[in-house]
Structure 1
Amino acid sequence: MAVLVTGGAGYIGSHMVLALLDAGAEDVVVLDDLSTGFDWAVPEGVKLVVGDVADQDLVARVVRENRIDALAHFAAKIVVPESVSDPLGYYLANTVKTRALIEAAVGAGVRHVIFSSTAAVYGEPEVVPVTETVPLNPINPYGRSKLMSEWMIGDAAGPLGFSYVILRYFNVAGADPKGRSGQSSPNATHLIKVATQAALGKRERLDVFGTDYPTPDGSCLRDYIQVSDLAEAHRLALDHLRDGGDSLILNCGYGQGYSVLEVAEVVKRVSGVDFEVRIGPRRPGDPARIVAAADKIRDRLGWAPKFDDLDTIVTQALAWEDHLAKRNRV
């Protein structure tokens, strides 16, 4: 049977494809509209279907023609401040289209769903690290759009006869250690991506949004997870479901928080470049601190991350930015 990876030409989705191939999977199909992804990020030999995940006729045809039994759904909008200014766009992309995708895919034969969710469903948690059982209270449309999809998947699984794993990401960073993929969008908002661009002269500076939060240095505190470790969590989730495992909701993080200012200093040290850091006002929708409690994913899936080191993550991100610069000059 085959796996359908939506958003597989994008950052995290492309790493999922690599994880599947590295584990010996032969049948992987990517569905991506290429609005933020890149066709060159899809490895040679992997079928790429260019289209919208909400095109139900297309989804059903792809599932049937490729004998797909599992769906890994990454396609989404992910920028918190943008979700505040364009909430309807986020509910369309992350909720309405997910509903259409699930209906078409399951109706055509998919029996296992892995859903890309977010720590933003927790909002401003009172207890850190955050377990999967704390109250859910997202504070921005991005988090709410993802939570609505979580509810929808949970409600539909029993009646429609599919199992699922929902993975709540914390802050994804880094690149494939073999240099095959990385965060490639030039205007991405991921902190480590932006900081490495500043270090390499692709941006004039790094803007820090708020230093008046209730954290040790006043800047936001986040748990940074390396993208290949995250992709491996998805691959293990797929194995779990195909082996008859129960449906799960799991955090994906390391349980270690770093502030924005700490990350900036690490990027400066690793790159050897003292780039400008400019302090500005808070952005709407940003929680002060959020760090994962990740014991459950280790226990249930046997997940053992390999790249839990901020210097390593930054080194990978710098190498990928250098690769992109050379690629774009060709």
Structure 2
Amino acid sequence: MKKILMTGHLGLVGRHLSPLLSQLGYEVVGFDIADGTGDICNTGQLSQALNECCGVIHLAAVSRVVWAQNAPEKCWKTNALASEQLLKLAANSAHKPWVLVASSREVYGEPKTLPVTETMPLAPVNIYGRSKLFMEDAALSARNAGINTAIVRLANVYGCTLDHEDRVLPAFCKNAVLDLDLRVDGFEHLFDFTHVDDTVAGLVKAITLLSEGEKQLPPIHLLPGHGTTLKQAAQMAIKAANSSSTIVEAASRDYDVARFIGDPTRAKSLLGWHASVLPEQGIARLVDAYNKKLKLGAHS
């Protein structure tokens, strides 16, 4: 059985990706500080975990822009330096596993034109984006050390009630179900929301290519290429929940990117992948999941 190390396996993407890989015959070795299986910043633990692995899926990170802004040193140590160390350890290990790193739309900063292609300038505007760009550079450099790497850039992944409830779409959907106000930090902020089911389907396709020996994958977007404003997303949640919630606009944060739509063409051509869940459908699914979860909690 092919053994894959997955850092951050208890995060939103990891929880949904692990079962898919198990079904495909991979042995997934979880590595996550949340359950004590591993700390990405601990070189000894990383080195041991890499033993006999044919591949690495690197999801572990200080995973939110606001957390990174509040703890910039921790963000850099985790997202940048620990990622670089992971790639060096992989290059120096006996099995030389391939490494797939999960990056972010934040590496582009505030794009001048939309939609954004993977070849557009990388100019992050916050510490989170800069740390992800450092990781990308380390992943590309690691190819010179003899390992196969791939970079996927994700955008506003959502779709699960186990996600952080203060993230924008979980917050909208839960509050809509509860008939509470929906706080919107900038009505016209525009994002490319990606359902987690689509995200993991694309990752599986990239992992398959890596496992088959593909060595020169360029950075790839996994996103629908479909823009939705925060106000529209809030309205979708209220409609799906048949809610009496009110939308309240608040000031946007000065370190947030305000507009992003990515071009998914490369994913379609290289992976044969496209997103199948657009925001209206995905938000309705999430509202339904919160409905069921909250009703279950009320009767337990």
Common topology (TM > 0.5): yes
State the shift of 1:269 in Å: 0.8
Indicate the residue corresponding to 1:262 in structure 2: 232
Match of 2:274 among 296, 304, 307: 304
- Name the residue aligned to 1:6: 7
1:181-260 mapped onto 2 (5 Å cutoff): 182-189=160-167, 191-201=168-178, 204-211=180-187, 219-245=188-214, 246-260=216-230
Segments of 4+ in structure 1 off by > 4 A?
327-330
Deviations along 1:246-280, one digit per CA (max 9) or x if unpaired, are 23201111111000000011111111112122211
What count of residue pairs does the alignment treat as equivalent? Answer: 296
Separation (CA, whole Å) in 2 of partners of 1:130 and 1:300: 17
**1:319: which partner in 2?**
288
Q: Which residue type is aligned with residue 149 of structure 1? A: M
Contact 1:170 1:253 in 2 (8 A): yes
Moved more, 129-138 or 282-291: 282-291
Q: CA deviation at 1:165?
A: 1.3
- Measure, in 1, the Cα distance between the counterparts of 2:205 and 2:275: 12
Q: Secondary structure at the match of 1:264?
A: helix
C-alpha deviation, 1:311, in angstroms: 2.5
Identity %: 24
| RMSD, aligned CA | 2.0
Whether the 8 Å CA contact 1:11–1:183 is kept in 2: the answer is no
Distance 2:231 2:268 in 1: 29
Pick which of 77-86 and 126-135 moved more: 77-86
After superposition, the C-alpha distances for 1:164-203 in whole angstroms (9 at most, x for unaligned) are 11011111122xxxxxxx24145442x21110111122x9
Output the amino acid matched with 2:251. Answer: P
Deviations 1:139-177 (A, max 9, x none): 111111100110111112212x11111011111122xxx
The alpha-carbon deviation at position 2 of structure 1 amounts to 1.1
Quick one: which of 120, 124, 143 aligns to 1:157?
143
- Give 1:45's aligned residue: none
Q: Distance in 2 between matches of 1:280 and 1:88?
A: 28
Corresponding residue of 2:40: 53
Letter matched to residue 111 of structure 1? P
Q: TM-score, normalised by structure 1?
A: 0.84
**Of residues 132, 143, 151 in structure 1, which corresponds to 2:118?**
132
- CA–CA distance in structure 1, aligned partners of residues 45 and 298 of structure 2: 33
Q: Is the 8 A contact 1:209 1:283 kept in 2?
A: yes
Q: Give secondary structure in 1 for the equivalent of 2:50.
A: helix
2:170 is aligned with what amino acid?
Answer: K
Where does residue 33 of structure 2 map in the other structure?
33
Stretch of structure 1 that moved more, 254-263 or 268-277: 268-277
Question: Which whole-Å CA distance do the structure 2 matches of 1:110 and 1:188 have between them?
Answer: 39
TM-score by length of 2: 0.92
Check whether the contact 1:57–1:104 (CA below 8 A) recurs between aligned residues: no
Tell me, in whole angstroms, the C-alpha distance in 1 between the residues paired with 2:206 and 2:163.
27
Q: Residue type of the partner of 1:63? A: L
SS at match of 1:297: helix
Q: 1:133 to 1:26 in 2, by over 3 A?
A: closer
